[in-house]
Chain A
């Protein structure tokens, strides 16, 4: 995509708006936005791997969970300061993901998706029973040290992290690696036939994706203060991540962000009418309709409408 001045203006307005938000909205909305920011980071992480290369990961909750649990265990059980535990959590997520999922990059399509799904289910079953003295079993770990005080600071931290992740992903995807990852998603054999080792490229995408997931998972755990297996290794978490990417637009940076905010706010608006898990019913239907109508998401719908509008004017 070629950059135009209006892109910079839009991003500038977006960032300014995000940082002004605490002046404009209440604490409740701010909390919703914090969750949206973390979801956006998870979504960007998923998109770096799956949105680009076409290797669909159903195991991202697993990566996020490793990050969260590592920092949780280190700070609560071993008394590590968060400055040390979060970087370690990122490394552990990358290493853990590498050990479990890297061999899976040799296999393709549905097989990769299935292995990642099985890994997530494995963690869900394993975490409560292995060393419950460390993981806290099904009840998880609570009273994680907080990084920030009050909703406003938590919000600034979340927005700052999200923008940093988005910027990093954007810069990376603009390089030739980004093009090559895209190309893998379109035709892996041809990338190999162009003299590139696709395994190395995929592993790289996977490592970056895992690093982002681990970092976001660790910060999110400290924001929540409590982690449980149900809250991380769950199909609903996976659903929210994937839907955020697809609704926003896979293979773009702004898409996952839009998708995450759209999803979180839609769920929030539905809350008064449908308090329980039923919200996912309406939400899922909307997601399915958007996906069936335009698999490239809201971004493509907006772009299409914009083009048509300009076409009608001229």
Chain B
């Protein structure tokens, strides 16, 4: 029981971290940015390359991953989303293509085989009979820190409030003197960085492989939509529902069924309550 609670908390924290970056973009453009999965995957690989292949300090590897993720976010906004003028269908499709391109690029650079990522922080601690690696503990703490920082940023700073304004009404925000273009760029960059950071932890939690991006991207999209678009609290709650659901299924039923229940939950909620469990109705 204790095992489930602890593991659940840890996995949920990880999911919350991954979902946060996605939420930023989705709440601004309502775009299903499938290339978000590419940040997760590329983040993991950059970390692997810098710290395990080049032998640099782990923190450099992590920083490098975040920087590359942020750069990818920026480039994506500049080169794809802006030229398409936010046409949702076109963005969905072009980001799917981009995600597959990045997947192939990783195969090209690192090969097809999946890789084991050395933990960011090695070591294991036993809490109430549950084996907890420092790594996933760090991921959870980190995700909470990032989530709180993001919350403070969105609520407390001028740029953060401008981001909120743009997400609610881009034209209105523009009229009141906010430059939506600049805000969009900042948001895409933060989102890319968060995705890459999540990717480093996610890859060390599971494994690093070129096709690892599909499941986390579906889960993060779903967490965001089910949680109610733009609601940080809702996102947190749903990340925990899914995290605990998966851990419980693994512990009680069978490890193979882990993803099945998550998908059923996602499909069910989207069809029954498209506005999400905690979201306001949109027209």
A contacts B directly in the complex (CB < 8 Å)? yes
Binds A, one of B66-74, B94-102, B188-196: B94-102
Chain B residues touching A, range: 35 or more
Interface 0/1 of B82-99, CB less than 8 Å to A: 011000111011101111
Query: Which residues in B have their C-beta under 8 angstroms from that of A54?
Result: 89
- Does A96 interact with chain B (Cβ within 8 Å)? no
Q: How far is the CB of B18 from chain A (nearest CB, A)?
A: 16
Least Cβ–Cβ distance between B206 and chain A, in angstroms = 14
Contact check, B88 vs A278: say whether CB atoms are below 8 A apart.
Answer: no
0/1 interface trace, chain A 24-67, chain B, CB 8 Å (1 if under): 00000000000000000000000000000010101000000000
B86-142 with Cβ < 8 A to chain A: 88-90, 92-94, 96-101, 103-105, 107-108, 112
Please state if A288 and B98 are interface contacts (CB–CB under 8 Å): yes
- Contact indicator A284/B215 (Cβ below 8 Å): no
* Of the residues B32, B218, B266, B274, contact of A107 by C-beta under 8 Å: B274
Instruction: Report the minimum CB–CB distance from B170 to chain A (whole Å).
Output: 17
Majority secondary structure of chain A interface residues (helix, strand, loop or mixed)? helix
State which of B31, B112, B267 has its C-beta within 8 Å of the C-beta of A115.
B267
State whether the Cβ of B175 lies closer than 8 Å to any Cβ in chain A.
Answer: no
Assess whether B214 is interfacial by the CB under 8 Å rule. yes
Q: Are B210 and A277 in contact (CB under 8 A)?
A: yes
Q: Say yes or no: A110-B259 contact (C-beta < 8 A), given A280-B103, A288-B101, A291-B97.
A: no
Q: Are A277 and B88 in contact, CB atoms less than 8 angstroms apart?
A: no
Known A-B contacts A125-B263, A239-B97; the reply to A114 vs B271 at CB < 8 A is no
Interface string of A86-124 (1 = CB under 8 A from B): 000000000000001001101101110111011101100
Let me know if B30 is at the binding interface, CB within 8 A.
Answer: yes
Contact of B270 with A by CB under 8 A: yes
Task: Tell me whether A284 and B97 are in contact in the complex, defined as CB-CB below 8 angstroms, given that A129-B256, A277-B104 are known contacts.
Answer: yes
A118 & B257 in contact (Cβ 8 Å cutoff): no
Chain B neighbourhood of A109, CB < 8 A: 30, 88-89
Instruction: Flag whether A201 is at the interface (Cβ < 8 A).
Output: no
Contact with B along A12-26 (1 / 0, CB 8 A): 000000000000000
Chain A residues near B221: list those with CB within 8 A.
114
Contact partners of B215 in chain A: CB under 8 A: 121
A295 and B221 CA atoms in complex are apart in Å by: 25
Asked whether B252 is an interface residue with its Cβ less than 8 Å from the other chain, the reply is no
Query: A107 with B271: in contact, given A56-B89, A125-B260, A280-B100 (CB under 8 Å)?
Result: yes
Whether B203 sits at the interface, judged by CB under 8 Å, is no
Instruction: List which A267-314 residues lie within 8 A (CB) of chain B.
Output: 276-281, 284-285, 287-288, 291-292, 295
B46 within 8 A of A: no
Tell me if B264 is interfacial: C-beta within 8 Å of chain A: yes
A233-275 interface mask toward B, CB cutoff 8 Å, 1 = contact, 0 = none? 0011011001100100000000000000000000000000000
Tell me if B165 is interfacial: C-beta within 8 Å of chain A: no
CB-CB nearest in chain A for B263: A122
B104 touches A281 (CB 8 A): yes
Question: Contact: A121 with B218, CB < 8 Å?
Answer: yes
* A196 in the interface (beta carbon within 8 A): no
Contact A122 B92 (CB under 8 A): no
Please give, as numbers and ranges, the residues of chain B lying within 8 Å of A279 by CB-CB distance. 104
What chain A residues lie within 8 Å of B84 (beta carbons)?
A: 292
Please state if B96 and A242 are interface contacts (CB–CB under 8 Å).
Answer: yes
Which residue on B lies nearest to A283, using beta carbons? B104
User: Are B263 and A113 in contact, CB atoms less than 8 angstroms apart?
Assistant: no
Chain B residues near A118 (CB, 8 Å)? 218, 222, 263, 266-267, 270
Judge whether A243 and B97 touch: CB under 8 Å. Answer: yes
Q: When the two chains form their complex, are residues A280 and B104 in contact, meaning their CB atoms are under 8 A apart?
A: yes
Give B253-280 as 1s and 0s: 1 = Cβ < 8 Å from A's Cβ atoms: 0101111100110110011001000000
Q: Does residue B154 face the partner (Cβ distance < 8 Å to A)?
A: no
B173 at interface (Cβ–Cβ under 8 A)? no
The reply to whether the CB of A128 lies closer than 8 angstroms to some CB of chain B is yes
Hey, which chain A residues are within 8 Å of B258, CB to CB? 125
Bound-complex Cα distance A104 to B222 (A) = 15
6 closest A-B pairs by CB:
A281-B104, A284-B101, A122-B263, A110-B32, A280-B104, A125-B259
List 21 A–B pairs whose Cβ atoms lie within 8 Å, in order of A's numbering: A54-B89, A104-B271, A106-B274, A107-B270, A109-B88, A110-B92, A111-B270, A114-B218, A118-B218, A119-B263, A121-B214, A121-B218, A122-B263, A277-B104, A277-B107, A280-B100, A280-B101, A280-B103, A285-B101, A291-B93, A295-B90
14 additional contacts (CB under 8 A) given A129-B256, A239-B100:
A56-B93, A104-B270, A109-B88, A110-B30, A110-B31, A122-B263, A125-B257, A128-B256, A129-B257, A235-B211, A277-B112, A281-B108, A288-B97, A292-B83
Chain A residues within CB distance 8 Å of chain B? 54, 56, 58, 100, 103-104, 106-107, 109-111, 113-115, 117-119, 121-122, 125-126, 128-129, 235-236, 238-239, 242-243, 246, 276-281, 284-285, 287-288, 291-292, 295
